[in-house]
């Protein structure tokens, strides 16, 4: 399956900016990362299933949730991939949605790795 150019998939998360938006609370950051690490695979699973079943409504809603969740980490790559998938689902463009979901999966995979490092406090 074709995915979008992989070079833009690193999020280069900005820990200082994320923390600033959490009022400097690094414990909260750790908690949010843990929540996301649990939630993201579930959302991806739900999106795969929805796409298989042609349920564009659930696909759009899950993509919207992924967009919202990732926006808390200012993860632009994930946010825009999820946003494109949400638009495809709303337009019921199944072919484009397949491509965008595959892209999103790759982007999210990298985001998860970056987040795991981020919450342990390693510099980005």
Partner 1 sequence: MRILIADDELVSRRKLRAVLAKWGHDVVSVEDGSAALELLKGPNAPRIGLLDWVMPGKNGVDVCRAIRSDRPEPYTYMLLLTAKDAKENIVEGLESGADDYLIKPWDPDELKARLRTGQRILQLEDRLVEARETMRFKATHDHLTFLLNRGAIVDLLERELVRTVREKGCTIVILGDLDRFKSINDTHGHLVGDEVLRETARRLLGSVRSYDFVGRYGGEEFLLVLNNCDTAQALLRAEEIRKAVAESPIQTARGPISVTLSMGVLSSRDWIQHSSGEILCEVDAALYRAKASGRNRSEFARANAGCEAS
Chain residues in the site for partner 1 (CB under 8 A): 20-23, 25, 28, 31-32, 35-36, 39, 61, 64-65, 67-69, 71-72, 74, 83
Shortest separation between residue 110's beta carbon and partner 1, angstroms? 18
Task: For the CB of residue 114, give the shortest distance to partner 1 in the complex, in Å.
Answer: 15
Residue closer to partner 1 (CB basis): 72 or 117: 72
Q: What are phi and psi of 82, to 5 degrees?
A: -65, -35
Residue nearer to partner 1 on the CB measure, 6 or 24: 24
Give CA–CA dist 95/13, Å, rounded.
Answer: 30
- List Cβ neighbours of 1 (8 Å cut-off, separation of 6 or more): 98, 99, 102
Residue 9 near residue 112, CB atoms below 8 Å:
no
Q: Which is nearer to partner 1, 42 or 122 (CB)?
A: 42
Nearer to partner 1, 6 or 68 (CB): 68
- Least Å distance between CB 3 and partner 1? 23
Helix (H, G, I), strand (E, B) or coil at 22: coil
DSSP 32-63: HHHHHHHHHHHHHHHHHHHHHHT-HHHHHHHH
Smallest gap from residue 32 Cβ to partner 1 (A): 5
């Amino acid at each position: 399956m074709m995915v979008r150019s992989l070079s833009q998939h690193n999020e280069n998360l900005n820990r200082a900016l994320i923390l600033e938006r959490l009022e400097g609370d690094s414990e909260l950051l750790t908690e949010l990362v843990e929540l996301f690490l649990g939630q993201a695979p579930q959302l991806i699973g739900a999106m795969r299933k929805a796409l298989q079943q042609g349920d564009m409504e659930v696909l759009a809603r899950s993509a919207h949730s992924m967009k919202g969740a990732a926006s808390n980490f200012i993860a632009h790559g994930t946010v825009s991939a999820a946003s494109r998938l949400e638009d495809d689902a709303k337009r019921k463009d199944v072919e484009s949605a397949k491509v965008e979901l595959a892209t999103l999966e790759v982007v999210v995979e990298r985001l998860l790795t970056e987040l795991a490092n981020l919450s342990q406090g390693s510099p980005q």
